[in-house]
């Protein structure tokens, strides 16, 4: 038979154990005010990078970590569902996109277990490198819920431009760079949109002239690749006019670039036609009929 003193000690130990489990816990504090009160910084473990594929990625294993980098995709990709830790409720997970491509969190994809609820019940697309999303697993509904995210913003947050401030002219059938119409920048997105607007005139004197001007957008960084062009008539069989104005615009031309890489995009021009004369863009001497600018929306 167990000694009375031993019984008392066992009961006391069980009582104290129960009390400890129900008590508030303090770390670096002797006076906790909540169930867990931490006086200091909290560090969450970072696991090995997720090696994901292009397109859809479903039931990704978290590996038991709270912060995970994403690598692997070579184009835009999706995260459809994530497998939580066993019996997890309230598990936190932050995904950091270390690729140059857009990461889309699919909202309630397939309405299946382990899918993700996104804000406004719509897919959440995070554009660019080092964007991130934090989510928490809700066991009762069997879903992850996005709690916060960091994006590089939508188009228009980064705008680069150059405006012509001097008179310039063209008297050649070969393309050449147009003054002040080159922009060097470091893009954040994989596609930027280029806008070019130019006006000017052609001097024709008394010659029976039929002239036109050609313009093109060139991605210098991509090996001087021509990405778009336009032609505008400058004059047509006009014997008497001294100045014939013209206008040209190329709007929202998509150009593929590499995020994080210094990139140069420029505009070139030339003149051609039957007995064409010199093309002018005289923003200083004739500002009422002349302008030129190039704007890049990133």
Quote the CA–CA distance of 221 and 132 in Å, as a whole number. 29
Rg, C-alpha atoms of the chain: 32
How is the chain split into domains, by residue range? 43-150, 159-297
In percent, the amount of the chain with pLDDT more than 90 equals: 52
The mean pLDDT value for 72-90 works out to 91
| Count of CB atoms situated within 10 Å of the CB of 36 | 9
Are the beta carbons of 183 and 193 closer than 8 angstroms?
no
How far is Cα 167 from Cα 283, in angstroms, rounded to an integer? 6
Query: Is-contact 155 138, C-beta < 8 A?
Result: no
Mean pLDDT score of the chain: 85
Q: What is the pLDDT of residue 26?
A: 73
pLDDT per position as a tens digit, 120-164: 888 988 877 889 999 999 998 899 999 998 876 667 778 999 999
181, two tokens: 């119409």
What are the CA-CA distances from residue 78 to residues 55, 134, 241 (Å)? 6, 15, 60
Q: Is the pLDDT confidence value at 166 over 70? A: yes
Task: Output the pLDDT for position 25.
Answer: 79
Predicted confidence at residue 3, as pLDDT, reads: 56
Contact 107, 122 (CB under 8 A): yes
> Could you give phi then psi for residue 114, rounded to 5 degrees?
75, 10
Looking at residue 1, what is its pLDDT?
46
Separation CA 155–CA 191 (nearest Å): 10
Put simply, whether the predicted model's pTM sits higher than 0.85 gets the answer no
In this predicted model, what pLDDT tens digit does every residue of 198-223 receive, in sequence order? 999 987 765 667 789 999 999 999 99
- How high is the pLDDT of residue 239? 55
Its sign, for the CA torsion 270, 213, 297, 286, is positive
DSSP element (H, E) containing 216: strand 209-219
Q: What pLDDT does 125 receive?
A: 87
From the list 292, 297, 294, the residue with the least C-alpha distance to 282 is 292
How is residue 49 annotated by DSSP?
A: P
The pLDDT assigned to 9 comes to 53
CA-to-CA dists, residue 119 to 138, 148, 149, angstroms: 15, 9, 10
Angle formed at CA 115 by CA 143 and CA 259, multiple of 5 degrees:
120
20 pLDDT exceeds 90?
no
Cα angle value 155/156/162 (rounded, 5°): 125
Instruction: Give the residue from 246, 151, 243 showing the smallest Cα distance to 197.
Output: 246
pLDDT digits (tens, 9 = 90+) for 247-274: 999 999 999 998 788 999 999 999 998 8
Q: What CATH class has 159-297?
A: mainly beta
The per-residue pLDDT for 30 is 77
Overall average pLDDT of the 161-178 stretch: 97
Residue 238 in this model has a pLDDT that exceeds 80:
no
| pLDDT, average across residues 10-35 | 62
In this structure, the number of other CB atoms found within 10 A of the CB of residue 42 comes to 6
Q: Which of the two residues, 15 and 258, has the higher pLDDT score?
A: 258
Burial 189-206 (b: 16+ CB within 10 A, else e): bbebbbbbebbbbbbbee
């Amino acid at each position: 038979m167990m000694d009375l003193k031993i019984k008392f000690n066992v009961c006391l130990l069980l009582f104290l154990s129960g009390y400890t489990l129900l008590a508030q816990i303090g770390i670096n504090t002797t006076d906790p005010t909540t169930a867990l009160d931490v006086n200091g910084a909290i560090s969450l473990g970072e696991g090995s990078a997720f090696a994901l594929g292009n397109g859809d990625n479903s039931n990704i294993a978290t590996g038991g970590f709270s912060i995970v980098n994403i690598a692997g995709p070579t184009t835009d990709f999706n995260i459809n569902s994530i497998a939580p830790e066993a019996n997890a409720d309230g598990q936190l997970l932050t995904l950091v996109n270390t690729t140059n491509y857009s990461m889309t969190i699919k909202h309630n994809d397939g309405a299946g277990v382990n899918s993700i609820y996104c804000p406004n019940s719509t897919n959440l697309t995070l554009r660019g490198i080092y964007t991130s999303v934090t989510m928490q697993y809700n066991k009762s509904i069997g879903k992850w819920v996005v709690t916060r995210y960091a994006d590089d913003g939508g188009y228009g947050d980064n705008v680069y431009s150059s405006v012509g401030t001097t008179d310039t002219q063209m008297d050649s059938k070969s393309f050449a760079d147009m003054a002040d119409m080159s922009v060097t920048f470091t893009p954040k997105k994989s596609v930027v949109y280029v806008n070019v607007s130019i006006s000017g005139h052609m001097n024709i004197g008394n010659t029976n002239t039929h002239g036109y001007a050609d313009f093109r957008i060139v991605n210098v960084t991509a090996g001087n690749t021509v990405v778009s062009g336009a032609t505008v008539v400058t004059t047509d069989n006009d014997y008497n006019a001294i100045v014939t104005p013209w206008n040209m615009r190329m709007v929202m031309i998509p150009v593929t670039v590499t995020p994080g890489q210094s990139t140069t995009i420029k505009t070139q021009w030339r003149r051609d036609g039957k007995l064409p004369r010199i093309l002018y863009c005289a923003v200083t001497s004739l500002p009422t009929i002349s302008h030129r600018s190039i704007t890049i929306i990133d």
